[in-house]
Amino acid sequence: MSTPFNPWEMACQQLDLVANKLSLDPNLHAKLRHCKRALIVSVPVIMDNGEIRVFEGYRVQHNVDRGPAKGGIRYHPDVTLDEVKAMAMWMTWKCAVVNIPYGGAKGGVVCDPANMSEREIEKMTRRLTSEIAIIIGPDKDIPAPDVNTNPQVMSWIMDTYSMGVGYSAPGVVTGKPVEMGGSLGRHTATGRGAMLVLQEAMQHRGMKPQDTRVAIQGFGNVGGSFARFLHEWGCRIVAVTDVSGGIFNSSGIDIPALQTHVANHPHRLIAGFEGGDFVGSAEAANRELMTLDVDVLAPCALANQITTDNAAAIKAKIVVEGANGPTTPDADIILNERGVWVLPDILANAGGVTVSYFEWVQDLQSIFWDEDRIDHELTKIMKRGFRDVLAIAEQEKCPMRMAAYMLAVNRVATAVKWRGVYP
């Protein structure tokens, strides 16, 4: 078994490789290798049984040279400061790849929301907001949903922040309900963006959707939307996994039926769906999914899923990274040597932050767009991002990840250089 990979070390290793490729000024490299600020807060909550539990929360801003910080807040028992720092750095590159005027941030709370009541989650969210309010705001840092957070959590953050400043400030978060200044198309934006990037890649390779078999790890917001869009396009989804296990059907899974099942499941899981063979162990299901003989593999769950343990056994022609950091650098080398085309996370899952940007713009202007405009603008940005990255990959004869990082790091480094170092 491989040694567990530290996500912050992974993010820095990726930056180092790109800095070397770009012959980046060592001073710029040093600045980009550090986060601007990291806030650690205690979040005391009076639980339903009267007990006071103190959760640990984080908010990290990696870089703000191109604009205010942007990034999600996740609630998960395995959240660490190093993970949040890595996610913040990746958000910096992601925003730069698709050329939207944000820097990267990320936040999280070490907790298990599955074992908490809604009231307890609300209390925790509101106290977290009051603790990090000193560094967030529409012009400073705009949180968004992430793992185990949703529009309701964003509503609590927005309300708590607004009570503190004395006026309604919808622009402090994105991913809100539409009724509170949220954007149409935000919930499915990450999945749609991944689909758009895959469409461009398949067309570049001459692959037809009706001949394409897809395996998707994760069936939450990202994986579920991605599966639906690909199903509608004509692809055959042959495997889906989540924390409850996996569904396998070589003839193709009925994705609309599976989505209906998940929507009606008390914990929004795929367990119990009868449209395929079910593997009841998440570990076993993911192990099988990763090595299926498919055309496209889409890890849309958590980081560190494709490692040196399984990279050599992956049979997919294309890997679409719907999750953040699902492939370790060492596994990346193996995939590249074997001719697997990896569409990297900082490009493939940038649809979410792109529509978050649209939401923020709408909130600041108090002018809201219809869904056709949202989809049109997202399509334009994601396709332009793919073409920009592909052009560098072909020119430099390098993998798409290296090309995406070269594009992003160069854009951020240029901004850092122009701004200089204060004082």
Among 266, 243, 267, 247, which Cα is nearest to 257's?
Answer: 247
Phi, psi of 55 (to 5 degrees): -95, 155
Cα 326 → chain centroid: 10
Question: What does the DSSP 8-state code read for residue 2?
Answer: P
Instruction: Tell me if residue 106 is catalytic.
Output: yes
CB within 8 A of 301, min separation 6: which ones? 217, 218, 220, 223, 241, 242, 323, 326
Among 189, 191, 151, 206, which Cα is nearest to 173's?
Answer: 151
CB atoms within 10 A of CB 77: 12
Using omega within 30 degrees of 0 as the cis cutoff, is the peptide bond preceding 423 cis? yes
What does the alpha-carbon distance between residue 145 and residue 125 come to, in Å, rounded to a whole number? Answer: 12
* Residue 354, amino acid: T
The β-bridge partners of 59 are 39, 107
What does the alpha-carbon distance between residue 268 and residue 218 come to, in Å, rounded to a whole number? Answer: 12
Phi, psi of 206 (to 5 degrees): 75, 25
Six-digit token string for 412: 């951020």
Which one is catalytic: 70, 106, 123, 176? 106
Residues taking part in catalysis: 106
